[in-house]
Amino acid sequence: MLIPHLVLGTAQLGLPYGIANKAGQPDQAVATTIIREAWKSGIREFDTAQGYGDSEKVLGKALAELGFSKEARIISKFDSNLDHLNASDMSRALDESLERLGVRSLYGIMLHREEMLSLWNKGLAKILQAFILSGRVEKIGISVYSPDKAIQALNTEGIIMVQLPTNILDRRFENAGVFKLADEKRKTIYIRSVFLQGLILMNPEEVPDKMDFARPVLEKLESLSNDFGLSRQEMALGYIKSEIPNAHVIFGAETPAQVTWNVECWHKSYPQSLNRLIKEAFKEVNERLLNPTLWSN
């Protein structure tokens, strides 16, 4: 059975990623097994980026070995250090991605930083549109961090996909009406950071001392988890599936078993009554916890 709304994120396949990552970056053989498990589970979309270390190369090699290259829907992102108004540089970067991935075209290509929206009407839209006309890309998107940029992207003609962070603790986009607007515009939302880089799944006592501020929130999560007899993984995925049903949800894995667990959690029945309690319990969460770039400060 296909799972059209689950996407395997492959940052973990190209570099060590996430605060809860204990396995480290998997080798090619393990990465191929992860891709095989995702495919067997019904996942057909894969999220990668030019800036994710060897991710594109590892993904491409796995898909070729398994014979899935032609059917896979791959979404990549441009390196944010590229000169986005230099058509030949952008075209070359796209061709290099296609070569690493071993495919003739991408399901989607995204801008990796919300700041790139400022270049849209300065020539960037035209450059990206040419990639669609050349048959190398089907859809254009952007990865954003802030709700206002998500709204701007959704209101921008030519942008079809918007990737953003959302989870049971971080509901800024939900509160700003971003998902409602996406449905109205018939554009696709890709949700990343559903486990907040693994923090949501950590036991409070495992949290590093420098992140003491996260412990009370995780303890509250653990309490809700115990009350409803659900794992925090089941809660995190169940909330998104229930509250934002049209969104595509990206999750990463360092082992094949993690793919299996996530798919099982996705299929688990989820009580609607829990949504209200989650909204009440985590009404105001400090941005220091929601923004991983602030964790080391």
Range of the domain at 19: 6-294
Is position 254 within any domain?
A: yes
Is position 167 within any domain?
A: yes
* Banded model confidence at residue 21, pLDDT cuts 50, 70, 90: very low
Q: Is the pLDDT of residue 210 over 90?
A: no
- Condensed to tens digits (0 to 9), the pLDDT of residues 233-263 reads 999 999 999 999 999 999 999 999 999 999 9
DSSP secondary structure letter of residue 197:
T
Residues 149-160: b if buried by 16+ CB within 10 A, e if exposed: bbbbbbebeebb
Query: Residue 172's closest CA among 144, 199, 198?
Result: 144
More confident call, 43 vs 15: 43
Is position 185 within any domain?
A: yes
**Cα–Cα distance list, 146 to 76, 162, 288 (Å):** 20, 11, 14
Rounded Cα–Cα distance for residues 90 and 192 (Å): 25
Q: Is the pLDDT of residue 119 over 50?
A: yes
Query: What's the whole-number mean pLDDT along residues 171-179?
Result: 96
What residue spans of 178-255 are helical by DSSP H?
178-185, 215-228, 232-243
Rounded Cα–Cα distance for residues 204 and 221 (Å): 10
Q: Is the pLDDT of residue 18 over 60?
A: no
- Condensed to tens digits (0 to 9), the pLDDT of residues 41-81 reads 999 999 999 999 999 999 999 999 999 999 999 999 999 99
Structure confidence at residue 284 (pLDDT): 87
| Residue 123 zone, left/alpha/beta (φ > 0; ψ -120 to 50; rest) | left
Is position 163 within any domain?
A: yes
Is position 140 within any domain?
A: yes
8 A C-beta contact, residue 30 and residue 74:
no
Indicate the range of 17-21, 73-77, 96-100, 155-159 predicted with least confidence. 17-21
The residue type found at 175 is: N
DSSP of 2-36: --TTEEEE-HHHHS---TT--S-S--HHHHHHHHH
Please give the tally of structural domains in the chain: 1
Structure tokens at 20: 């809860």
pLDDT, averaged across the chain = 94
- Condensed to tens digits (0 to 9), the pLDDT of residues 183-200 reads 999 999 999 999 998 999
Q: What is the CATH number of the domain that holds 212?
A: 3.20.20.100
8 A C-beta contact, residue 272 and residue 242:
yes
Is position 176 within any domain?
A: yes
* Banded model confidence at residue 178, pLDDT cuts 50, 70, 90: very high
Query: What's the whole-number mean pLDDT along residues 151-167?
Result: 98
Is position 249 within any domain?
A: yes
Q: Is the pLDDT of residue 107 over 50?
A: yes
Rounded Cα–Cα distance for residues 120 and 128 (Å): 9
Q: Is the pLDDT of residue 150 over 90?
A: yes
Is position 1 within any domain?
A: no
Indicate the range of 60-74, 110-124, 200-214 predicted with least confidence. 200-214
Query: What's the whole-number mean pLDDT along residues 211-215?
Result: 91
Rounded Cα–Cα distance for residues 213 and 204 (Å): 10
Structure confidence at residue 295 (pLDDT): 87
